[in-house]
Chains A and B, each alone.
Chain A
Amino acid sequence: MVKGLTLDRIAITKGGVPLVALDRHIAPGQVLTVMGPSGVGKSTLLSVVTGTLPNAFACTGRVLLDGRDITRLPPHDRRVGILFQDDLLFPHLSVGANLMFGLAPGGDRAARRARVAQALEEVDLAGFADRDPATLSGGQKARVALMRMLLADPCTLLLDEAFGRLDTVLRAQVREMVFARARARALPVLMVTHDAADAEAAGGDVVTLGN
């Protein structure tokens, strides 16, 4: 079995017009950065991996995750984690309930709560479980969003301009934290960005689209 995320001859078209083509393997703990101007189809590429490709597009090729062909699986069965530019914490749930939502089912209430508390501690947010996500700072929200995703135990992590809303200082911090967590869990990371500093910090291969 090949560990990692494989984009096997992926080719996306819109109305018959070729948009994006990619054929790469991302090993566990590695980061592949996809760059290019907006509108070039970077986010569309990610939606092929998450399984949320809009109807207007067509795609050929296969997506393999740890050797498993996930091309035809519904989004919730793929174990593909994704972070967007916005934190997208569910506004109707507390910070703790957001994390519970992410935490894979199983275990009794006490054990689950302990897992959530531990996750919050891991990103220096101990005691934040009952807080309203809307009262958190941008950096705190980003950390909660990351932990929520990781608690779902994904096999890969996608980053869709994930640091785009943060100011420069915060951006570097959050970026370091995300990459460190992904490396610690040996997750293959596919990052879409238009910021060269993101690509540099990632340190992996860079693919530039639209040229």
Chain B
Amino acid sequence: MRLLPIVPALTLLVMLGPVVAGLWGTVRAAFGHLPGAGLTGPNLDAFRALGDWPGLPRAVMLSVTTGFGTTLIALALVVLLVAGWSGTRAFAALERLLSPLLSVPHAAAAFGLAFLIAPSGWIARLISPGLTGWDQPPDWLIVNDPLGLALMAGLVAKEVPFLLLMTLAALAQADTRRAGAVAAALGYGRTTGWLKTVFPRVYAQIRLPVYVVLAYGMSVVDVALILGPGTPPPLSVQIVRWMGEPDFSARLLASAAALLQLGLVVGALVAWRLGEIAVAHLGLRWIASGHRGVRDAAVRGAALAGAGVAALSILLGLAVLAVWSVAGFWGFPDALPEGFTLRTWMRQGDDVLAAVGETALIAGVVTAAALVLTIGCLEAEVRHGRRLTQRGLWLLYLPLLVPQTAFLPGLQGLLLGVGADVGRAPVMLAHLVFVLPYVFLSLADPFRAWDARNGAVAAALGAGPDGVLWRVRLPMLLRPVLTAAAVGLSVSVGQYLATLLIGGGHVATLTTEAVALSSGGDRKAIAVFGLMQTGAALIPFALALMIPALVWRNRRGLQHG
């Protein structure tokens, strides 16, 4: 425990070091400097080549529309849902679905959605030929549509649960019930009253998560590969394509595009911030106008319907994956396959097991490291009084705000440059960058909310600081610690780009294998990998609920904590 005082610094280094180093590598390569390949700069060749790429305007446009579209729709759905429904039974039902929905990996949710809404998807099969008269799937581009609408839909479905969780956490800190009662007594409709009294306080708390959604939507790769348009693809996908080409000049091109991507995200965040100021201004005028809200009921209904569709699309998506994974022959437009068989599972068995092993090893090591660092930071806070400031919170969010496509290519280049072997260990370090913030955010509140008088009593009984931590604090916090572990595992399981780029294509996890299958169109194999990926993320959450219930089955005081 003598190392404890340096743990916060070490954590920051582990979390931000790769981001900073990767950005540096990207900048160097973008300006033509790639010593590992014998290229020296600086020059502007890569930017010139990027400017000459005919797909650039559309690719940039797609990044921007996807990012803003996803964030606006998801935020509006969540805000209106909470405004109109919090405290009702419908809301409680959605709340119970939250953890499972959150833990479904993005790629699996995207596959599920694609299998639902494609012209040959489940929805078309269910209504054909009866309603449509189709004997053949129509030649429509629903998935991979050129406007990226399917991509946006897939992202919204996954970001709604995330923003909802963050909003619920923020609500717990604001005195919302009484504010709502006061607004109602003054004659305000439920949604309008909530928007005018509670929303400003809540938004201040969920601002950083909203920024994360915006940055993520602009730079996502795996969901875009599955649901997004192909030619030209969003900028992030094109970056990864260039990175995959054997030619080194393509790598420089990718780095230039990565810098552009970073600039786009920074610009979008600034624009969003300006939008916040404008909305706040308009909101004050709206509040001053005294309107009580007339169309509340319609807005309420629409919000619930929207959130319901988002939740259903993920759940039904998993269901259709399950059906495909055991389907025999399944012709269009049959609603169900002619027969069920385990043949696909047998055929993919060895590959799946190997990928499960790799996924579990990486996720396990990374999560363990993240937990040790997080608990070390939080305990250093207790013993040395170093509290995370607002600026520290920004640092925590930084790895989630800097687009992955901006720093991972540079990091790969640097690793190659110093002769570090691409492979499992560097992949673990790269995963840690994304796992640490989520584990920290998940554990920090319960850790700090723990009644410190328990520690005072334990110390009065003669327990030293380590004894208090190991014998009292951590056992009492078993449930939040395991939940944080589950969050970490699911984040690691879902990592695509970090695994692909830093692993140099040699590290095959469930996620990289599943996404790699997407271009082949073998629905049965995709279904098997998508389900396994979901299971790998979901089972830890189930264990995080079950283990404390088992361990503390005779301890009533801990059963609801």
| A interface list, Cβ under 8 A from B | 47, 50-52, 55, 74-76, 78-82, 84, 86, 88-92, 94, 101-102, 104, 132-135, 148-149, 152, 154
Shortest Cβ distance from A85 into B: residue: B453
Whether A92 and B462, one on each chain, are in contact in the complex, defined by CB atoms closer than 8 angstroms, is: no
Known A76-B462, A101-B471; contact A82-B457, beta-carbon cutoff 8 A: yes
Whether B456 and A132, one on each chain, are in contact in the complex, defined by CB atoms closer than 8 angstroms, is: no
In the complex, per-residue mask of B145-177: 1 if CB is within 8 Å of any chain A CB, else 0: 000000000000000000000000000000000
Whether A148 and B461, one on each chain, are in contact in the complex, defined by CB atoms closer than 8 angstroms, is: yes
Query: How far is B385's CA from A101's CA once the two chains are assembled, in angstroms?
Result: 26
Shortest Cβ distance from B459 into A: residue: A75
Partner of A92, one of B385, B465, B478: B478
Partner of B555, one of A80, A86, A92: A92
Partner of A86, one of B453, B460, B467, B558: B453
Whether A84 and B453, one on each chain, are in contact in the complex, defined by CB atoms closer than 8 angstroms, is: yes
B218 smallest CB distance to A (angstroms): 42
Shortest Cβ distance from A151 into B: residue: B461
Query: How far is B456's CA from A81's CA once the two chains are assembled, in angstroms?
Result: 10
Q: Is B130 an interface residue (CB 8 A)?
A: no
Shortest Cβ distance from A101 into B: residue: B461
A146 smallest CB distance to B (angstroms): 12
Whether B460 and A50, one on each chain, are in contact in the complex, defined by CB atoms closer than 8 angstroms, is: yes
Shortest Cβ distance from A153 into B: residue: B462
Whether B453 and A90, one on each chain, are in contact in the complex, defined by CB atoms closer than 8 angstroms, is: no
Known A135-B556, A149-B461, A152-B461; contact A75-B456, beta-carbon cutoff 8 A: yes
Interface size class on chain B is 20 to 34
Whether A88 and B454, one on each chain, are in contact in the complex, defined by CB atoms closer than 8 angstroms, is: yes
Whether B459 and A91, one on each chain, are in contact in the complex, defined by CB atoms closer than 8 angstroms, is: no
Partner of B460, one of A90, A104, A149: A149
Shortest Cβ distance from A104 into B: residue: B462
B254 smallest CB distance to A (angstroms): 49
Whether B453 and A76, one on each chain, are in contact in the complex, defined by CB atoms closer than 8 angstroms, is: no
B550 smallest CB distance to A (angstroms): 13
- Across-interface contacts of A86 in B (CB, < 8 A): 453
A142 smallest CB distance to B (angstroms): 13
Whether B453 and A91, one on each chain, are in contact in the complex, defined by CB atoms closer than 8 angstroms, is: no
A194 smallest CB distance to B (angstroms): 18
Q: Is B475 an interface residue (CB 8 A)?
A: yes
Known A101-B471, A133-B557, A135-B556; contact A91-B460, beta-carbon cutoff 8 A: no
Q: Describe B's contact surface by its main secondary structure.
A: helix
A92 smallest CB distance to B (angstroms): 4
Shortest Cβ distance from A81 into B: residue: B460
In the complex, per-residue mask of B191-211: 1 if CB is within 8 Å of any chain A CB, else 0: 000000000000000000000
Shortest Cβ distance from B557 into A: residue: A91
A61 smallest CB distance to B (angstroms): 21
Query: How far is B471's CA from A154's CA once the two chains are assembled, in angstroms?
Result: 20
Query: How far is B463's CA from A50's CA once the two chains are assembled, in angstroms?
Result: 13
| B interface list, Cβ under 8 A from A | 385, 451-465, 467, 471-472, 475-476, 478, 552, 554-558, 561
Whether B453 and A88, one on each chain, are in contact in the complex, defined by CB atoms closer than 8 angstroms, is: yes
Whether A90 and B459, one on each chain, are in contact in the complex, defined by CB atoms closer than 8 angstroms, is: no
| New A-B contacts (7) at CB < 8 Å, excluding given A92-B557, A132-B554, A149-B460 | A52-B456, A74-B465, A75-B460, A76-B463, A101-B458, A152-B460, A152-B462
Query: How far is B387's CA from A55's CA once the two chains are assembled, in angstroms?
Result: 11
Whether A82 and B456, one on each chain, are in contact in the complex, defined by CB atoms closer than 8 angstroms, is: yes
- Across-interface contacts of A134 in B (CB, < 8 A): 555-557
Whether A74 and B453, one on each chain, are in contact in the complex, defined by CB atoms closer than 8 angstroms, is: no
A9 smallest CB distance to B (angstroms): 24
Whether A88 and B457, one on each chain, are in contact in the complex, defined by CB atoms closer than 8 angstroms, is: yes
Query: How far is B460's CA from A104's CA once the two chains are assembled, in angstroms?
Result: 11
Query: How far is B458's CA from A11's CA once the two chains are assembled, in angstroms?
Result: 26
23 A-B contact pairs sorted by A residue (CB < 8 Å): A52-B459, A55-B385, A76-B459, A76-B463, A81-B460, A84-B453, A84-B456, A89-B557, A91-B561, A92-B475, A92-B552, A92-B557, A101-B471, A102-B461, A102-B462, A132-B554, A133-B557, A134-B557, A135-B556, A148-B461, A149-B457, A149-B460, A152-B460
B231 smallest CB distance to A (angstroms): 59
- Across-interface contacts of A52 in B (CB, < 8 A): 452, 455-456, 459
B234 smallest CB distance to A (angstroms): 49
- Across-interface contacts of B457 in A (CB, < 8 A): 82, 84, 88, 149
Shortest Cβ distance from A56 into B: residue: B385
Shortest Cβ distance from A103 into B: residue: B461
Query: How far is B453's CA from A50's CA once the two chains are assembled, in angstroms?
Result: 11
- Across-interface contacts of A81 in B (CB, < 8 A): 460-461
A185 smallest CB distance to B (angstroms): 15
Whether A154 and B460, one on each chain, are in contact in the complex, defined by CB atoms closer than 8 angstroms, is: yes
- Across-interface contacts of A74 in B (CB, < 8 A): 459, 464-465
Query: How far is B471's CA from A68's CA once the two chains are assembled, in angstroms?
Result: 29
- Across-interface contacts of B461 in A (CB, < 8 A): 81, 101-102, 148-149, 152
- Across-interface contacts of B556 in A (CB, < 8 A): 91, 132, 134-135
B57 smallest CB distance to A (angstroms): 56
- Across-interface contacts of A47 in B (CB, < 8 A): 456
Whether B476 and A50, one on each chain, are in contact in the complex, defined by CB atoms closer than 8 angstroms, is: no
- Across-interface contacts of A90 in B (CB, < 8 A): 454, 458, 472, 475-476
- Across-interface contacts of A80 in B (CB, < 8 A): 460
- Across-interface contacts of A102 in B (CB, < 8 A): 461-462
Query: How far is B452's CA from A134's CA once the two chains are assembled, in angstroms?
Result: 19
- Across-interface contacts of B465 in A (CB, < 8 A): 74, 76
A99 smallest CB distance to B (angstroms): 10
A200 smallest CB distance to B (angstroms): 27
Query: How far is B465's CA from A74's CA once the two chains are assembled, in angstroms?
Result: 9
Whether B456 and A91, one on each chain, are in contact in the complex, defined by CB atoms closer than 8 angstroms, is: no
Known A82-B456, A84-B453, A84-B457; contact A91-B463, beta-carbon cutoff 8 A: no
- Across-interface contacts of B459 in A (CB, < 8 A): 50-52, 74-76
Shortest Cβ distance from B471 into A: residue: A101
Query: How far is B558's CA from A75's CA once the two chains are assembled, in angstroms?
Result: 26
Query: How far is B460's CA from A101's CA once the two chains are assembled, in angstroms?
Result: 11
The 6 closest A-B pairs by CB, nearest first: A91-B557, A134-B556, A75-B459, A134-B557, A92-B475, A152-B461
Query: How far is B382's CA from A52's CA once the two chains are assembled, in angstroms?
Result: 11
Partner of B557, one of A76, A78, A132: A132
